[in-house]
Chains A and B, each alone.
Chain A
Amino acid sequence: MSELVYGTYILVWPALTLGVLAVICGAVIKDAVQARKSNNNVV
């Protein structure tokens, strides 16, 4: 039980990092596509 709790306590952070990374990349790709359509830079 303790092993599961400690393992989860440590590994939840890289898992959350991966989730946020996916969200950010998805949003940037969307912005990049829109920027290309309107012939602008993404920033």
Chain B
Amino acid sequence: MNESSFVQFSILTIVILLVGFYGGTYLLTLLIRKKEEDTSGFMVAGHNVGFGMGAASMTATWIWAASFYAAATSGYTYGVSGPIHYGLWGALMILFIYPFGRRFRKLAPNGHTLGELIHARHGSSSQLILAGSNILGSVISLMVNFTAAGALVSVLSPLSFQTGVLVAGVGVLSYTLTSGFRASVFTDFAQLVALMAITVVIIPAVLFAVGGPSEMVAGLQNLTSEQADFFSVDAIMNQGAPFFVAVLAYAIGNQTISQRLFAVREKHIKRTFVTATLGYGAIVIGLGMIGLMALTVGVEPVNGNMNNLIPQMVSAYLPPVFVGLFFVLVIGALSSTADSDLSALSTIVMADIYGKNIAKDNPNPKTMLLIGRATMIVATVAGLIFASFSLDILVMLVFVGALWGAIVFPVIISCYWDRVSNAAFTWSVVIAMAFFCIARFELLEMTGVTVLFFEVLASVGGAVVFGLMAFGFFGRNVGLIVGVVSGAILLVYATGFLRDYMVLTASLTAYGASAIVCTAMTLRNKERFDFDLIKQRVGSYDAPADEDENEPTMIPEGAHS
């Protein structure tokens, strides 16, 4: 099979599909448009998103274009367990954050970003570390999604890569600009319904088109023993474990998640996130199965590019209408994530940068909204430029992932332990990043005591991940026990072993080093923080209805303390 084997749409067809998708989405947002948007609605939909919309939005946001391609790649590379080792851990990122999300919401019921909470807890330096990592992550995400749109349009039609990038950027911006987060959530629902409906149809369609389960079973002989093994060590160590390490980091470091934690009605947080976990897992693992099917029937990806697997399978085995549905599926997935990234970026700049650091908690709501919309335009232009240049983002991704890993422990523990100081937070992140760089880029010779030192740090990091997960669901005592026991097991079995997986070791080092430094500095600190202050310091930026709209907003009591 070669590139000409892909179904090719005419320019007219592709234009109809794109205009239909983005035009329809834009028209949908007219249904919820308000004459005058307020900052709370623009940033978190007034903290009043219901269960259904919340679950749909969380699911749609967490599924981006790369989710399908990476899950299919995992299925093709690692065989039977491959789709699970991509989709399951991605789904658990949503699940594991909700217990902490409830704590964030309890501490700051009127919050808009996690950075605001950290600002109220520690001050600007900690907040800006978090906000900076959020911004980098969202800009990268925007760029990746626009790139995916360009690639898809160029593969399936005569239109150029740049045209696809431009249409996606302008399309997403057009429907998000006016109503912000409210538009993002509302359109996420429509996009998710389309995405799920297409998923439900397309997976069985491909399965039976390749000959059904019998053909798959017959094709199992094409698999290596590792690929045929559901408990493949290769799949666990190279796909599952690195993803598992990232579970908490991505959930904490990504404003699109915390924005929804602050937006959903507090009583619905648990079922919203549990439903989104199931929805994400089902869709992504299901589409990953197309990669497994490709492996069993002996399909080779065009040009060796794994991203071609799903479009190839759909093109090869299904009528063109399914290729059209697949096109809508990918455009819907990338647009729902891109609009969430635009909302996340605008909210961070509005609340964390302008509200807290420029206006010093005394912002003008109209100026704030203007800044939010300007941020969306600037972010879209930046995303389009970066995407058009097809930049290599691997190094950026590595740094952002490590930064998120380094902030997990300080962020979470700052919300529970009243002795954690700003210095403990900041220094733990800085030192963890330094150790991460040494391990990831092997700046020291990784032999003897040096590599053992990093294996110990990584083992502590592993214990931190397990311990925090247990802590979130079962409380402090269980968390401590799980952390200590898993740490002991890792110290025994992982030292001497982890050195063969330096990428994983480096990621775990970020967790371990930040936890050790943060804990050590906190134990030396005798001052205690009153958590009730957070509620007072994080308030609404909107002026009450009876006040002059042009006056700066009412500041919650204690905001300047």
**What is the number of residues of chain A that contact chain B, defined by CB distance less than 8 Å?**
27
CB distance from B111 to the nearest CB of A (A): 18
Question: Which of A3, A6, A25, A31 neighbours the largest number of chain B CB atoms within 10 Å of its CB?
Answer: A6
Stretch at the interface among B182-190, B235-243, B534-542: B182-190
Which residues 8-29 of A sit at the B interface, judged by CB distance below 8 A?
9-11, 13-14, 16-18, 20-21, 23-29
Are A43 and B185 interface neighbours, CB within 8 A? yes
Which chain A positions have C-beta within 8 A of B278? 16, 20
**What is the number of residues of chain B that contact chain A, defined by CB distance less than 8 Å?**
45
Stretch at the interface among B170-178, B211-219, B370-378: B211-219
Which chain A positions have C-beta within 8 A of B32? 41-43
Q: Which B residue's beta carbon lies closest to that of A22? A: B196
A2 within 8 A of B: yes
Residue interface mask B272-285, A partner, CB < 8 A = 1: 00010011011101
Which chain A positions have C-beta within 8 A of B48? 43
Q: A13-B286, A17-B283, A43-B185 are in contact. Are A28 and B53 (CB under 8 A)?
A: yes
B204 within 8 A of A: yes
Q: How far is the CA of A27 from the CA of B273 in the complex (A)?
A: 14
Which chain A positions have C-beta within 8 A of B186? 42-43
Q: Which B residue's beta carbon lies closest to that of A28? A: B52
B50 within 8 A of A: yes
Q: Which B residue's beta carbon lies closest to that of A20? A: B279
Are A18 and B200 interface neighbours, CB within 8 A? yes
Are A3 and B50 interface neighbours, CB within 8 A? no
CB distance from B277 to the nearest CB of A (A): 10
Q: Which B residue's beta carbon lies closest to that of A30? A: B52
Q: How far is the CA of A34 from the CA of B463 in the complex (A)?
A: 46
Q: How far is the CA of A40 from the CA of B515 in the complex (A)?
A: 46
Q: How far is the CA of A20 from the CA of B182 in the complex (A)?
A: 22
Residue interface mask B486-530, A partner, CB < 8 A = 1: 000000000000000000000000000000000000000000000
Which chain A positions have C-beta within 8 A of B469? none
Which chain A positions have C-beta within 8 A of B482? none
Are A14 and B286 interface neighbours, CB within 8 A? yes
Which chain B positions have C-beta within 8 A of A11? 203-204, 207
Q: A17-B286, A24-B55, A24-B192 are in contact. Are A4 and B200 (CB under 8 A)?
A: no
Q: How far is the CA of A37 from the CA of B444 in the complex (A)?
A: 66
Main secondary structure of the interface of A (DSSP, over half): helix
Q: How far is the CA of A23 from the CA of B48 in the complex (A)?
A: 19
Are B49 and A43 interface neighbours, CB within 8 A? yes
Q: How far is the CA of A27 from the CA of B193 in the complex (A)?
A: 13
Are B275 and A24 interface neighbours, CB within 8 A? yes
Q: A17-B283, A18-B200, A42-B32 are in contact. Are A10 and B50 (CB under 8 A)?
A: no
Which chain A positions have C-beta within 8 A of B189? 24, 28
Q: Report which of B80, B196, B292 forms a contact with A17, defined as CB distance below 8 A.
A: B196
B197 within 8 A of A: yes
Which chain A positions have C-beta within 8 A of B459? none
Question: Which of A4, A26, A27, A29 neighbours the largest number of chain B CB atoms within 10 Å of its CB?
Answer: A27
Are B56 and A24 interface neighbours, CB within 8 A? yes
Q: How far is the CA of A36 from the CA of B80 in the complex (A)?
A: 47
Which chain A positions have C-beta within 8 A of B201? 14
Q: How far is the CA of A16 from the CA of B289 in the complex (A)?
A: 14
Q: How far is the CA of A10 from the CA of B207 in the complex (A)?
A: 8
Which chain B positions have C-beta within 8 A of A29? 52
Which chain B positions have C-beta within 8 A of A10? 203, 207, 213, 216, 286, 289, 292-293
Are B53 and A20 interface neighbours, CB within 8 A? no
Are A21 and B217 interface neighbours, CB within 8 A? no
Q: Report which of A2, A14, A26 forms a contact with B203, defined as CB distance below 8 A.
A: A14
Name A's B-contacting residues (CB within 8 A). 2-4, 6-7, 9-11, 13-14, 16-18, 20-21, 23-31, 41-43
17 contacts between A and B (CB under 8 A): A6-B213, A9-B80, A10-B213, A10-B293, A13-B289, A17-B200, A17-B279, A17-B282, A18-B200, A20-B278, A24-B275, A27-B55, A28-B50, A28-B189, A31-B50, A41-B34, A43-B48
Question: Which 7 A/B pairs are nearest by Cβ-Cβ distance?
Answer: A27-B52, A13-B286, A28-B52, A7-B213, A31-B50, A16-B282, A20-B279
